[in-house]
Amino acid sequence: IEVEPRRIVAGADLQLTVLITNTGSVISGYTIRLLGIDPAWVALDEAVPRLFPGESTVVTAQLQIPAELPAGERRVAVQVRAQTDDRLTAVEEVVLHVPGAPQVDVTLEPTTVMAGRRAVFEAHVHNRGNTQVAATLLGVDEERALGYAVDPPQFALSPGEHATLALT
């Protein structure tokens, strides 16, 4: 088998082409699997190609990688197995790169407060992205009439994690 490309970046219109050649002496069907990712993310244009001896075909695999998959590189194995003989199996590796997509949501509770010179809020910070986020929470007042203090001012969150900070 030959697989192209050997390195893919997760995103829209992601596909692999797999060239399969029957080097045996009998007609055979071939099962194609992508190992290392969820089978629900893969759509093959031909599920079980059948080839005469010496014949070749190209199968296209369309991949739908979910946006919430953690960022980083992982290896995906393309496995092609002859249905006539399980010992006739070929495996090629492809590198799947999932770029980081940081997304941080911040909400304040309560949303309004009646106060004199000082008010305290809870700042709920949630990492909804697919990569670790380290940041500082700052308050900004364009009129420069208010001062802000955040405790703790910095936070580091893994994907899916959340934290509560005190905003005074």
d(CA 61, CA 33): 10
Phi, psi dihedrals of residue 51, rounded to the nearest 5°: -130, 140
Residues of the chain with pLDDT under 70: none
**Which pLDDT value is given to residue 109?**
94
- Say whether 39 sits in a helix, a strand or coil: helix
* Residues contacting residue 61 through CB under 8 Å, at least 6 positions apart: 15, 16, 17, 18, 32, 34, 42, 43, 44, 45, 78
Element (H, E) at 109: strand 104-109
Q: In this structure, what is the dihedral angle of CA atoms 19, 25, 27, 32, given to the nearest 10 degrees?
A: -40
**Which pLDDT value is given to residue 20?**
97
d(CA 133, CA 156): 6
**Which pLDDT value is given to residue 133?**
94
Phi, psi dihedrals of residue 88, rounded to the nearest 5°: -90, 85
User: What is the percentage of the chain residues whose pLDDT exceeds 70?
Assistant: 100
Element (H, E) at 126: strand 121-127
Q: Which two tokens stand for residue 152?
A: 């703790």
C-alpha distances out from residue 138 to 129, 161, 164, Å = 20, 20, 14
Residue 53 CA, chain-centre distance (Å), reads: 39
Q: Are 101 and 131 spatial neighbours (Cβ–Cβ below 8 Å)?
A: yes
